[in-house]
Every structure is written in structure tokens, then in C-alpha cells.
Homo-oligomer: A and B are copies of this chain.
Amino acid sequence: MAELIGNLLVAQSGGPTAVINASVAGVVQLARKYPSIQKIYGGLNGILGILSEQLIDLNQELPDTIQALKFTPGAALGTCRYKIDFKRKPDRAAREMDRLFQVFQAHNIRFFFYAGGNDSQDTADKIHLEALRRGFEMRVIGVPKTIDNDLPHTDHCPGFGSVAKYNACTVMEIAADAGSMATDDGSCCVIEVMGRSAGWIAASTVLAKHGPQDAPHIILLPEIPFQEEPFLDKVKAVVAEVGYCIVVVGEGLKKLDGTEYSADKTRLDAFGHPALSGASERLGELVFGKLRTKTRTVKLGYAQRCAAHYASATDAAEAIACGEAAVRAAADGKSGFMVKIIRTPGEDYCWTTGLQPLGDIANVEHLVPRDWISEDGFMPNEKFIQYARPLIEGEVRVPTEGGLPKFAVLQRHSVAQKLPRRK
């Protein structure tokens, strides 16, 4: 096999994580060492920016800036949720694919890395197959990224460890606060975390629990259909025993009929749309309404997936390694794979990276196994804890200025466009 020589393009897709930029740093820093990789480009806003030929030259960024990407939240290259939709809009999708390959060709892109979740790996797979079909020699490697931890075949996803660490820390702190307020009738605090289908994020807050009376006391997972009565009984029992009850709920909590608990169409806002308020608000209303227990709610929302100031050092190291592994695989002649994390057997936590065909990833959702959850459905068990505990180890030290984090800001040197504007 003749060595492939050309330019590299890396882009980010889907919701950001605290460490998605660490993967880009891994790609850029390692790619600089390969003579066969000439220019190192970033595509702005994922596939969307590539379609409009919006590329930036990452080689012109200062090495310190690339290094600082390792602790910078958000997607430094910009991101999108855009999908090339062959199913519902085949003509448009074909035109878009054409355009993508015009861009690849015009800029001699021979190494393409796409960091993202399920949909993004699907896009990467389609690009890989199209390259084969066209006989355009290009190595396409997917870099896993998702706080939701719902990708199959990888032990876990970069991004998950950091949200798990931040949320578990937050639960510990809220418990210290709520637990210190003396109230006659006890209190309940409902903390809503992300996770629409998979409950990995909610489940990981179990790591805050060091003793049987510690918070969280109840964890509601989207995997376990919600039933009011056993839930209220449990809240009542916890309040009676501990004095307060911390409930963590995954935003995608479902009812027995499979519909989302928070999507209450009977409650409309002032404009006649279904009220936005989420699972925590509804549960808060339920607890206060039925038990008259003083209830407070917390909705961490975006705050949890970008909390770089308390990111997991293990997670950051793995995100960097996934970026590096993508470069090594592509330089090694591989294409059509996603980097995965493999946990090596043994008592101590050890991991390495591997490769999984992209075609195995798309449209498969990895949920929390039922036998990792207690019988009553309210708490992940020891199997889950052993799995999740190592992923939150270590703290990333973020430099500060004026008491606040000093994140990387890319200069974004534009690459001269070579194509007519996209219609």
C-alpha cells in the first residue's frame, strides 16, 4: 500500500461535552508528528460548515491554544445537529454528498475525523462508504463523544465521566445543604439531570452515596417506567428516616405507557403550548401536592455538560487518547471505524483504545442494563458502581484569571475557499 499523503479535517457534531475539545487537541497534537499529514484543518459547525466550505487552519493556532483545548468546554470548532437525510430527502442528500466530496477534493482532504454521538457516527459511516464508492481515497474515523454514554461497543464514551463527576459532586453538596436545614416535616429536593433515553447520567449520581443514609436517596431512570405510588411511598419513608430526601431524575423519565413524564399536554403555557417545565418541576408538584413536604427543585441543564472546571482527569485523558487513536488508525490505513474504549480485565481500572466498524454504531442505543439496577428500580447497584467509579477519578486543573477559568479561544484562521458558493 502506497502511503497516503494529504490534508486532515476534523469536525465536531451534536451536543458539546466538557472534553470534546480534548479529543480535537489529541488529533491535532499527534497529527503534527506525521509527515504524511500536511495541513490540519478544522471544519466549523460540523457537516454544516464543511458544506459551506468553512474551514480553518488549525496549524496556525498557537501550541498553547491547542493545549488549552484540553480543558475548554463547548465545541471549539462549533457544532451542529444536522443530518444528511437519505431516507426522507434522498435528492437533497445526494446533492449534499456531492458537495462534501467537492470540498474534500478541493482541499485534498485525505484524513477525516468526526467527533460525535450516534447520528454523527452514522454520518461518518455514510461518508466512508461514499468515498469507497467514488474511489476517493480518504480515511474516515469516528471519535466517540456523548455525555449520555449511550453508544454501543465502547465501554463508555468520553464526556460521560466528567458529567458524572460534576453531578455526583453537586448531589453531595446539595445533600450537605439540604440535610443541614432543620424542618419539622422534612424536605425533598428533586435534581433533574440530562438523559432522554438512557439513564447513565442519572445513575452515576449514585457515586455520591457513601453510606445507606446518604444522598441520593432515589434515582429515577428513563429505563424504569415511573409509578407515582411506590415513588411517593419511598419519599415518605426516606423523609421519616433521614429527615430529607434527595431525588435525582433523568429528564427523559417515562410513564408506564412509554410517554415522557414531563411532556404533560394537559398543562399549557400562556401561549397555548404544552408547558416547558421539566420532570423535576412535575415531581416537585407531585411530592408537595400529595405529601405536603417542602420541596425544592434544581435543573442543571446545560451547566452539567460543560462543567470543565470540575472535569474528570480520567475522562479528559481518554478523550485525548481517542483523538490520538483516530490519527494512528487513519495513518495506519484504516477507514470506516469508530475509536472505542476497551476496559481491560483486572481489579484495577485499565483501559486501551480499539476500533469498531462505524456500521455497528448507528441507531443502536446502549441503555443501563436492568440487572445493574436494584429490584425496586430506585437505585443502581454495585455492578453499576464498579463500572462508573473509575471514570470520575482525578481533577483537571484549569488555569484561572481574575478568579475565573481561562479557556482557549481559537483564532480561527480561515482557509481560502476554492469552490463556488453553495446554492
Contact = CB atoms under 8 A, between A and B. Distances in A.
Interface of A: 12, 15-16, 44-46, 48-49, 72-82, 165, 168-170, 172-182, 189, 191, 207-208, 267, 269-271, 273, 275-277, 281, 284-286, 288-290, 295-303, 305-310, 312, 314, 389, 392-395, 400, 402-405, 407
Contacts of A173: 73-74, 303, 306-309, 405
A143 B312 CA distance: 36
B271 A289 contact: yes
Given A81-B181, A172-B405, A309-B310, 11 more contacts: A73-B173, A74-B177, A172-B407, A173-B405, A267-B269, A273-B288, A298-B299, A298-B300, A298-B302, A299-B301, A392-B404
Interface of A is mostly: mixed
Q: Oligomeric state, in number of copies?
A: 2
Given A170-B303, A298-B300, A180 B281 contact: no
Contact of A288 (B169, B179, B276): B276
A402 B12 CA distance: 31
A62 to B, nearest CB: 19
Contacts of A179: 74
Given A16-B181, A298-B299, A403 B394 contact: yes
A302 B296 contact: yes
Residue from A45, A180, A300, A306 with most neighbouring chain B CB atoms (10 Å): A180
Given A208-B404, A395-B400, A302 B269 contact: no
